[in-house]
Structure 1
Amino acid sequence: MKIEAFSSNLATLQELGKRLKAQRIAGNVTREALARKSGVSLSTIARMEAGQSVAIDGWLSVLRGLNLLVNVDMLVPEMQISPIDALQYGHIRQRASKRKEAKESSWKWGDEE
């Protein structure tokens, strides 16, 4: 299954659990060995593979144990300042601004009443 923008959290966790299990098995690593290598409990790995909620630090430890931590870099890419922003702002923006609401114009076509 592909993880889509509209996938529920539960469906996403279940898919990640399946993928984690497949990676572990493909690497011929038992749950026990992965637990020792990553420093998390065996039950945490079982919960992850079952698609249950686990704290992010558990995920990071297990991904490190499977040599997959480098892939986390793709989750939230590092922002690069665009040349236009550099000219306009002179720095990297620190916060988002409120969107300005479009004002209703009093201008009308000649045939509108």
Structure 2
Amino acid sequence: MKTQVTNISVLQTSKVLALVSPIFGLFHSGIGVIFIIIALLGIANEEPEAGFMLIPGGILFLMPLLMFFMTFIFTALGSLLYNWVAGKAGGIEFEATVIQPETLGAPVADSLP
């Protein structure tokens, strides 16, 4: 059975991806914390150039928050663009196969009255 995705819910798709993306940003936050610790140790040892590491460390520390907002914005823009293109040229086409569940004779949702 061939199926086409002709419309993507802009708000729902953006919301879900924006909530998932900060998880990947936690890796960046860990690196940011390391940068900040190194910078603070350098400042404590009176090394003036160590303070410059606070800026990238702070940016990396805030990466999950930045990723949340940027993912929401760009997913919304991408969804709008996809919906426009799908309206002109057709959506992504794929084939789907209905597989019967291997349960003890439980009715399939499609076969219910």
Q: TM-score higher than 0.5 here?
A: no
Normalised by the shorter chain, which TM-score bucket? under 0.3
More strand by share: 2
Instruction: Provide TM-score, normalisation by structure 2.
Output: 0.25
More helix by share: 2
Instruction: Provide TM-score, normalisation by structure 1.
Output: 0.25
